[in-house]
Amino acid sequence: MRSVLCYGDSNTHGQIPGKGPLERYGPAERWPGILRAQLGPDWYVIEEGLSGRTTVHDDPIEGAHKNGRTYLRPCLQSHATLDLVIIMLGTNDLKIRFNKPPSEVAMGIGCLVYDIKELAPGPGGTTPEIMIVAPPPMQDDVKEWKSIFAGAPEKSRLLALEFEVLADSLELHFFDAGSVVSCSEADGFHIDAEAHRLLGIALARAVDAIGWSRST
């Protein structure tokens, strides 16, 4: 059986657009659940989605535990052995409090990749396959989040290219979520149930396209 870790933020956690962080789509509705159903019994799908998670930043307001880098190491070791790590982060790095350009968000992803390679939680102490997923661009109207995400929608549209440049240079698998889904109008930066379904199906195909030998 193969293992895939889905490492992300509220859009991996399954937070319902326009609702609070405690309101979440069900296990079978959110994209890792769809992925599980699509990939079938050969795969063990592990969900690690946290609302507010950044790539490498302690959040001075929401808490240091939102830092995706500090949590990734114990997380990788907890779930080893991993055949594949899917990372979909970056939206929270665009909060005005971090003041980061899109290119530096990609650098944050690069740090996570560095840590995965260093820990080598793949089969027999190897590097697992790594897939970077660019989050879908935010809507221009992010409702009451406008001040927190000032300038973010515009930056969010540049993440896919920056992430792909990173994926090319580090030789990683890449998928642009924006090619199949958009953020919900309800709050402008979360994805709804239908988008979870479409993303799960698309990612299952992307996972399959990596090519896995029959023996497990």
Between 19 and 205, CB nearer to another protein: 205
Contact, 163 vs 110, CB < 8 A? no
Contact, 85 vs 129, CB < 8 A? yes
For the chain, list the strands marked E by DSSP. 2-8, 43-49, 84-88, 129-134, 173-176
Between 46 and 167, CB nearer to another protein: 167
Q: What are the CA-CA distances from residue 161 to residues 30, 130, 174, 177 (Å)? A: 25, 17, 11, 12
Minimal distance, residue 97 CB to another protein, in Å: 29
Between 86 and 167, CB nearer to another protein: 167
Between 97 and 205, CB nearer to another protein: 205
Residues that bind another protein in the complex, under the rule CB under 8 A = 38-42, 129-130, 161, 164-165, 167-169, 171-174, 201, 204-205, 207-213
Three-point CA angle 132, 180, 163, nearest 5°: 25
Minimal distance, residue 95 CB to another protein, in Å: 25
Minimal distance, residue 139 CB to another protein, in Å: 24
Between 50 and 105, CB nearer to another protein: 105
Minimal distance, residue 214 CB to another protein, in Å: 10
Strand-pair partners of 216: none
* Spatial separation of the C-alpha atoms in residues 91 and 88, rounded to whole Å: 9
Q: Which residues contact 163 (CB under 8 A, 6 or more apart)?
A: 90, 106, 109, 132, 134, 174, 176
Minimal distance, residue 166 CB to another protein, in Å: 9
Between 20 and 211, CB nearer to another protein: 211
AA identity, residue 17: P
3-state class of 165 per DSSP? Answer: helix
DSSP H helix total and E strand total for the chain: 7, 5
Minimal distance, residue 29 CB to another protein, in Å: 18
